[in-house]
A and B are shown apart, each in its own frame.
Chain A
Amino acid sequence: MRVALFLTCVNDTLCPDTGRAVVKLLTRLGVDVDFPMDQTCCGQAHYNTGYRHEAEPLAEHFAKVFGEYEAIVTPSGSCGAMVRELYPRMGERARAEGRGDSLAVTLAPVVPRTYELTEFLVDVLGVTDVGAYYPHKVTYHPTCHGLRSLGLGDRPRRLLQAVEGLELVELPGAEECCGFGGTFAVKNSDVSAAMGADKVRSAESTGAQVLCAADNSCLMHIGGTMSRVGTGMRAVHLAEILASTREEPAA
């Protein structure tokens, strides 16, 4: 199976550790993963801010870059949801605007082949114990698009529960949004910050050392709030926990 890593523009630029963790993890599980160098951005920020027409060329670019792969794996619930949920909608809208089928036809092939990382592990590879070792107390925050758009369900939790040495503690109000929301974080910064502060308070109440999630955009907001208010906690991407082993433990 030809598997491509769609890292996302944010991870590529700001969180290369997450990318390295995904490569390490998938390689360990016997997957030969490729990183198509021409990949850029799925267009989510454009689309969700109201610039659908600017997002269209980015979606077409995505389809061109990833079209030949049988599986496209991304460590981001929201970018995964962009492709799976919103690419078909973009095609429909273009059709409704009298611009024909071409966008829908271009985007269609990549839609069913795009998997969020935990879906790929659990559904495609059929594993929940990935042989990881992470001797820390961890709480898990399900990010909104992974939770509600993709329906990741208990996949991330099952993967975490199988990690050796990891103590998973429940996050109170876990399913409440952390307040990132893309441009919402700056357009409505007061509400966004208040939501972030509440999320950090809940996380602290668990006594965990690490808050983990499967989306670095949300983690940047949560982690940035944690470091500003001076908690002892860290925000870590799920992939980095799953990549960690006894031989090569994560920092």
Chain B
Amino acid sequence: MSGTFIGMPAFPQAARASVHDATLRGNLRHATHTIRGKREQAVAEVADWAELREAGKRIKDHVLRHLDRYLVQLEESVTAAGGVVHWAADAEEANRIVARLVKETGEREVVKVKSMATQEIGLNEALQAEGIRAYETDLAELIVQLGRDRPSHILVPAIHRNRGEIRDIFTREMGEWGRPAPEGLTDSPAELAEAARLHLREKFLRAKVGISGANFMVAETGTLVVVESEGNGRMCLTLPETLISVVGIEKTVPSWRDLEVFLQTLPRSSTAERMNPYTSMWTGTRDEDGPRAFHLVLLDNGRTDTLADEVGRQALRCIRCSACLNVCPVYERAGGHAYGSVYPGPIGAILSPQLRGTRSEIDASLPYASSLCGACYEVCPVAIDIPEVLVHLRERVVEGGPVIREGNKVVLRPAKGHAAERAAMRAARWALTRPGALRTAQRLASRTRRLRPRTLPGPGRAWSGTRDLPPVPPEPFRDWWQRTRGGKDEAK
């Protein structure tokens, strides 16, 4: 990932460009609708889906409630199995730890398993600054990396690219990073996959250090789990001598048995597969098999702060399946980049403003990047009530209030730019708790109805730019009701 999210414009401005990009709209519509339909079928096959969803929710809530205990247990289990555990409070500390561990091996390049946590902390850029080259090996992450692009989807980071664009990127860029693309490469999926396979193979065979995230960490046994579809992840997890895994603390589950639930709900929700193709599990190190050294970097980076918020903490249940992205009508039209974070879509709109705070323009705008249609909540396999959290975060933006940042209690000031709205909301509340005031306003609107323009000036253009205003009736309902005694006196 060579792009950066710093200084992103607010969501509405970023989305404006993507809404009018016909190629992007086409790519996203095709991809999200295809996976949406498949997911629906895959979920409908499971008779006890509602119970699995509830179980997943409860397991995660239980872990989050007792995270202190489970993390210590996890550290003990991983250590007993031959791994080394490092604790990172934030992105900077995590990057520093990983860079040091890589340098200690004497290597200058690493192969990477697709990982959201390392994207979140900007690990590739941090390693590059230390003279270490990180190669993404997930096919879609490779497309993003070669294209000097940013991921726009949690599961399918290159969802915004079509086959033709991918062929062009491979042809142009592969030679810069290693084995060039074959001559005369076409946009057929088989040829593109083969080009990536050949390009990546030499990296797998050469690399001495692998870096991964993890989907789950089992506290009881110290086992880490990576769920992927290509097998490239397994190459990185098994071939190198040193394996470094950077994992968010909320990825812990108490016992091996808890995986039973998530290994059913995750594949069906994300790729619509009944069973995940490559599920890699490892516990510490083994003599003469797999990596000789294993390091686990436990990442906080805003998670403990998020945990302190009793409404917002449910976002930490997320298992990164992307079902909410695929079903979201806003994501489908705005595209992932507009969310200004490695976590786009509905889950990103509640995760980013919590992990990063609401101080930046983009983070303060994310809670509004939703029509609150609720489709995300409906498909979420751990029942995160995303609309509830969005509204809660809107409140945080407009009202401010006490939150936990970097472990300390701070009182947020209301965000700038909401003063006029706040005044309007107060005035509306005042008028609407006084029926007489509402009636006066309605009558005024009715009397001046002929003056109503077809379009509005200033901020009103946001409505009337694309939609006609509704006509104002000659009298409000309440006047008709009173005049005719509920229609009883109305002339037939």
Q: Which residues of A contact B (CB under 8 A)?
A: 7, 9, 11-17, 19-20, 23-24, 27, 33-35, 37-41, 43, 45-55, 57-58, 61, 89, 93, 96, 144-145, 148-149, 175-177, 179-197, 220-221, 223-225, 227-228
Q: Is B44 an interface residue (CB 8 A)?
A: no
Chain A neighbourhood of B438, CB < 8 A: 9, 12, 40-41
Q: List 24 A-B contacts (CB under 8 A).
A: A12-B438, A13-B441, A15-B473, A15-B477, A23-B486, A40-B432, A50-B367, A50-B396, A52-B395, A54-B425, A57-B429, A89-B388, A96-B310, A181-B370, A182-B371, A184-B372, A186-B462, A187-B12, A188-B15, A191-B12, A193-B19, A220-B467, A225-B466, A228-B466
CB distance from A187 to the nearest CB of B (A): 5
When the two chains form their complex, are residues B442 and A186 in contact, meaning their CB atoms are under 8 A apart?
no
When the two chains form their complex, are residues B472 and A14 in contact, meaning their CB atoms are under 8 A apart?
yes
Q: Which residues of B contact A (CB under 8 A)?
A: 11-12, 15-16, 19-20, 25, 310-311, 329-330, 333-334, 367-375, 377-378, 388, 391, 393-399, 421-422, 425-426, 428-429, 432-435, 438, 441-442, 445, 459, 462-463, 465-470, 472-473, 475-478, 480-482, 486-487
When the two chains form their complex, are residues B372 and A14 in contact, meaning their CB atoms are under 8 A apart?
no
CB distance from A229 to the nearest CB of B (A): 9
| Nearest opposing residue in chain B for A143, CB measure | B373
When the two chains form their complex, are residues B480 and A20 in contact, meaning their CB atoms are under 8 A apart?
yes
Of A35, A61, A193, A224, the contact of B481 (CB 8 Å cutoff): A35
When the two chains form their complex, are residues B465 and A193 in contact, meaning their CB atoms are under 8 A apart?
yes
When the two chains form their complex, are residues A48 and B372 in contact, meaning their CB atoms are under 8 A apart?
yes
When the two chains form their complex, are residues A148 and B373 in contact, meaning their CB atoms are under 8 A apart?
yes
| Nearest opposing residue in chain B for A227, CB measure | B468
Chain A neighbourhood of B370, CB < 8 A: 181, 184
User: Which of A15, A27, A45, A192 has the largest count of B CB atoms less than 10 A from its CB?
Assistant: A192
CB distance from A192 to the nearest CB of B (A): 7
Of A23, A33, A186, A194, the contact of B333 (CB 8 Å cutoff): A194
- A185 to B372 Cα, complex, angstroms: 11
When the two chains form their complex, are residues B371 and A24 in contact, meaning their CB atoms are under 8 A apart?
no
When the two chains form their complex, are residues A148 and B334 in contact, meaning their CB atoms are under 8 A apart?
no
Of A19, A176, A192, the contact of B477 (CB 8 Å cutoff): A19
Chain B neighbourhood of A38, CB < 8 A: 435
Instruction: Tally inter-chain residue pairs, CB-CB below 8 A.
Output: 201
- A35 to B367 Cα, complex, angstroms: 36
CB distance from B9 to the nearest CB of A (A): 13
CB distance from B385 to the nearest CB of A (A): 10
- A179 to B371 Cα, complex, angstroms: 6
When the two chains form their complex, are residues A20 and B463 in contact, meaning their CB atoms are under 8 A apart?
no
- A223 to B368 Cα, complex, angstroms: 24
CB distance from A73 to the nearest CB of B (A): 14
CB distance from B350 to the nearest CB of A (A): 13
User: Which of A7, A54, A188, A227 has the largest count of B CB atoms less than 10 A from its CB?
Assistant: A188
When the two chains form their complex, are residues A46 and B481 in contact, meaning their CB atoms are under 8 A apart?
no
When the two chains form their complex, are residues B473 and A16 in contact, meaning their CB atoms are under 8 A apart?
yes
A9-B438, A50-B399, A220-B470 known; A186-B374 Cβ under 8 A = no
When the two chains form their complex, are residues B432 and A58 in contact, meaning their CB atoms are under 8 A apart?
yes
Chain B neighbourhood of A33, CB < 8 A: 486
When the two chains form their complex, are residues A47 and B371 in contact, meaning their CB atoms are under 8 A apart?
no
Of A12, A35, A148, A194, the contact of B486 (CB 8 Å cutoff): A35
Chain B neighbourhood of A185, CB < 8 A: 462-463
Chain A neighbourhood of B397, CB < 8 A: 50
Chain B neighbourhood of A13, CB < 8 A: 441-442, 445, 472, 476-477
Of B19, B368, B426, B467, the contact of A228 (CB 8 Å cutoff): B467
Chain A neighbourhood of B334, CB < 8 A: 191
| Nearest opposing residue in chain B for A22, CB measure | B477
| Nearest opposing residue in chain B for A221, CB measure | B467
CB distance from B225 to the nearest CB of A (A): 32
CB distance from A4 to the nearest CB of B (A): 12
- A7 to B398 Cα, complex, angstroms: 29
